[in-house]
Structure 1
Amino acid sequence: METPGLSVGAVARRLGVSASTLRTWDRRYGIGPSRRSEGSHRRYDASDVARLEVMHRLILQGAPPGEAARVALGGEAGREEAREPRAHGAGGNRLALSTAPARTRGLARAVMALNGPVVTGTVREAVARDGVVRAWEELISPVLRSIGERYAATGEAVEIEHFLSNAALAVLAEVTAPPPHTQTRPVLLACAPEEQHSLPAYALGAALAERGIAGRMLGARVPEKALRDAVERIGPGAVFVWSQMPYTGDTGVLARVPGGRPAPRVIAGGPGWARPLPEGVRFAASLPEAVEAVAEALGMPG
């Protein structure tokens, strides 16, 4: 007796997509069930499922759905053609990272597919194996830059940036538990007033925690008065302020950080700051430089 085939729900569970996605693929691209059961319900046979598995895999690798469907319907020759999916203009379904290491390209593909488990697992593995600084410099930051370039060119991918930022933030939070015992003054971490891009400051907090340095995070869009009050409240050894966008980089905020005995070292990070910076303010052009600047301010070089 011929097997009855699989329902749309069963195939959706097998691929990890929704039933409505399968129906859309059938309607738009003609890649759907080829049989009907006795009750006239359409059923997927083994060859239908195999084609869908090819399509799904190619989409996760960065191919646009239409091209993935064409390849899946075309058989083995088409699969060879699509091993490196083409970007369609400035859009498409992948980021411009063709020369990046395989791990970075893999993260980019997972981000574009909004594949949470793969994104989180990739970032967590990199942080555990290489540490926060290297994971940031070689994995997270290149993908974020590529997303930014895509947004500048097309106005798209805001949701992709938010998705990666939230996943990375969750992993960094696992690293940022305050050290149980520290003899150094704390470090205050904040974003400039109206600055909403806070992930780099959280990356610094996690990198400092790896070195046993306690950070106090104020987060995004910190009003100047709140920053000043926090400095006066805890007497930090260093104050790091991040500005991503030029309209948030008012250097007067840095100049007006309260002093003390001893005064905290003020460190500015991010491309938003105008030049020149106020006297005594150090600029950190990268995460490694920010970590070293903080360590030096606390008398912990090396």
Structure 2
Amino acid sequence: MEVSAHADTESTDVGVTTGFLARKLGVSPTTLRSWDRRYGLGPAVRPDGRHRRWSHGDVEMVQEMCRLTASGVPPAEAARAAKEHARTADTAAPGPTPGPAPTAAPAPADEHSPAARARAAVSATAQVSHSGTGLPLGDVRQECRGLARAAVRLDAAAVQRQLTAVLEAYGPAVAWEEVMMPTLRAVGRKWETSGDRYVEVEHLLSWHIAATLRHSYVRASSSAARPDSSPVLLACLPGEQHTLPIEALTAVLAERGVPALMLGGAVPAEALLASVRRTGPSAVVLWSQSRSTASLALARHVAATRWGMRGARTRSAVLLCGPGWGRSGEAGLLRPTGLRDALRMLPAR
């Protein structure tokens, strides 16, 4: 059913339809009906023989539900808090008619408010493995649960708000290792076991993570590093397209004032070797996601490449990053187990 041209200006006395509200919030009509059936988050007035209409107060209640679940609050706790929020608003002293609920993150709630109590409940149950999303998250931070819920709903705005908030709160290293990567892995596992469902969720989440990490890099590098420092060169091997892990490392290096030269995915061998000779990097990070792209011959060639002035030529440290390299080490090559390990192995500046 098409929404009429004046739907956006429809009076709260008349109310809005379920379909319109679903589009406004970025959720499906099925989700709204499920919340109504399970938690009683439905229209207060239901005209007989007519489509349900959601009043201004109903809309604000469901907006609060969306905000809380996107921040990691379990749906049942969020529903209780949203209904109490609505009751509090109904009994508040009369005053000027409020405008629409803001879409930006609200000011921190009082510690005794319903929202604050709901968040406290999440903290108390942070080790519960059930995420409410159908994703196998396991024991993770509550931010993973909020991010997963937003991604499964394909709520791009909420995904971006969650990622931005996590990055600003914890920095790129913790954000990647403890929120972004666990959520991506859970989506990937669900994709593999559900007959190619959730592909769209993985693509949405990956795109927003990449955008967030690149924004972090650009913001940090604008004040960046010493121009006389040798960069860390980061590249995926030929045929390898999985760039997110080294994008995370690039963002962390920028945050720490370390110059980075990020070449991205599937870098041809000749281009990689030419870049090493031209830039003289202090270290070269080679990412391989699968054994089919890992090339020890190329890694050895990079490690043997000398650069610099004649009589003072030197080599770059080479880090083999990613599961494609397997667990075994290689003489003369460094094999970090993760982002923090790679940071420890990079030459001191």
**TM-score bracket relative to the smaller structure:** 0.7 to 0.9
CA distance in 2, matches of 1:10, 1:114: 16
2:95 — aligned with what?
Answer: none
The 3-state SS of whatever aligns with 2:335 is strand
CA distance in 1, matches of 2:158, 2:31: 24
2:89 — aligned with what?
Answer: none
Tell me, yes or no, if structure 1 residue 195 matches structure 2 residue 204. Answer: no
What's the offset of the Cα at 1:284?
1.2
Asked if the contact 1:7/1:42 (under 8 Å) is kept, the reply is no
The 3-state SS of whatever aligns with 1:282 is coil
Tell me, yes or no, if structure 1 residue 159 matches structure 2 residue 200. Answer: yes
What's the offset of the Cα at 1:161?
2.0
Q: Which amino acid aligns with 1:116?
A: A
Tell me, yes or no, if structure 1 residue 120 matches structure 2 residue 165. Answer: no
Is the deviation greater in 261-270 or in 166-175?
166-175
Q: Against the structure 1 CA distance between its residues 246 and 157, is the aligned structure 2 distance closer, same or farther, given a 3 Å change threshold?
A: farther
2:318 — aligned with what?
Answer: 266
Q: Which amino acid aligns with 2:316?
A: P
Gaps of 5+ in 2: 1-11, 80-121, 308-312
Q: Which amino acid aligns with 1:144?
A: L
Is the deviation greater in 244-253 or in 97-106?
97-106
CA distance in 2, matches of 1:127, 1:53: 27
Counterparts of 1:130-145 in structure 2, within 5 Å, are 130-145=170-185
Counterparts of 1:146-185 in structure 2, within 5 Å, are 146-154=186-194, 155-177=196-218, 178=221, 179-185=224-230
Is the deviation greater in 226-235 or in 156-165?
156-165
The 3-state SS of whatever aligns with 1:288 is helix
Tell me, yes or no, if structure 1 residue 246 matches structure 2 residue 260. Answer: no
The 3-state SS of whatever aligns with 2:261 is strand
CA distance in 2, matches of 1:221, 1:140: 23
CA distance in 1, matches of 2:168, 2:14: 44
Q: Which amino acid aligns with 2:198?
A: A
RMSD of aligned alpha carbons: 3.9
Is the deviation greater in 95-104 or in 240-249?
95-104
Q: Which amino acid aligns with 2:335?
A: F
CA distance in 1, matches of 2:167, 2:292: 32
CA distance in 2, matches of 1:12, 1:129: 31
2:261 — aligned with what?
Answer: 216
What's the offset of the Cα at 1:241?
0.8
Asked if the contact 2:320/2:336 (under 8 Å) is kept, the reply is yes
CA distance in 2, matches of 1:24, 1:135: 29
Q: Against the structure 1 CA distance between its residues 195 and 45, is the aligned structure 2 distance closer, same or farther, given a 3 Å change threshold?
A: closer
What's the offset of the Cα at 1:277?
4.5
Tell me, yes or no, if structure 1 residue 97 matches structure 2 residue 137. Answer: yes
Asked if the contact 1:235/1:264 (under 8 Å) is kept, the reply is yes
1:74 — aligned with what?
Answer: none
Asked if the contact 2:234/2:262 (under 8 Å) is kept, the reply is yes
What's the offset of the Cα at 1:121?
2.0
Asked if the contact 2:17/2:54 (under 8 Å) is kept, the reply is no
What's the offset of the Cα at 1:9?
8.1
What's the offset of the Cα at 1:274?
4.0
1:79 — aligned with what?
Answer: none
Q: Against the structure 1 CA distance between its residues 14 and 293, is the aligned structure 2 distance closer, same or farther, given a 3 Å change threshold?
A: same
CA distance in 1, matches of 2:155, 2:253: 29
Asked if the contact 1:236/1:264 (under 8 Å) is kept, the reply is yes
Q: Which amino acid aligns with 1:12?
A: L
Q: Against the structure 1 CA distance between its residues 98 and 15, is the aligned structure 2 distance closer, same or farther, given a 3 Å change threshold?
A: farther
What's the offset of the Cα at 1:101?
2.2
2:278 — aligned with what?
Answer: 233
Q: Which amino acid aligns with 2:314?
A: P
1:5 to 14, 18, 40: 14
The 3-state SS of whatever aligns with 1:266 is strand
Q: Against the structure 1 CA distance between its residues 213 and 63, is the aligned structure 2 distance closer, same or farther, given a 3 Å change threshold?
A: closer
TM-score for the superposition, normalised by structure 2 = 0.64
